[in-house]
């Protein structure tokens, strides 16, 4: 249930990405309107 809330909130605020170290399964859903990145990958993109 918490995972659905996190995804819904990330979409609701219009975020481009969700930065997380433990929600990797979100990456397997190509329909999400945001990217799922680890902190390391996020820092490399900045």
5's tokens: 């809330």
**Nearest in space to 34 (alpha carbons), one of 20, 21, 15, 19:** 15
1-46 pLDDT tens trace: 788 899 999 999 999 999 999 877 777 788 889 999 999 999 999 8
Percentage with pLDDT > 70 across the chain: 100
Q: What's the whole-model pTM score?
A: 0.78
Whether residue 25 contacts residue 7, with contact meaning beta carbons closer than 8 Å, is answered with no
**Nearest in space to 18 (alpha carbons), one of 39, 4, 46, 2:** 39
**Nearest in space to 2 (alpha carbons), one of 16, 14, 20:** 20
Percentage with pLDDT > 90 across the chain: 61
What residues does 17 pair with on adjacent strands? 35
Q: Where in the chain are the domains?
A: 2-45
pLDDT of residue 15: 96
């Amino acid at each position: 249930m918490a995972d659905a809330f996190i995804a819904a909130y990330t979409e609701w605020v219009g975020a481009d990405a969700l930065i997380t170290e433990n929600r990797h399964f979100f990456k397997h859903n190509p329909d999400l309107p945001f990217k799922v990145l680890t902190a390391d990958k996020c820092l490399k993109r900045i």
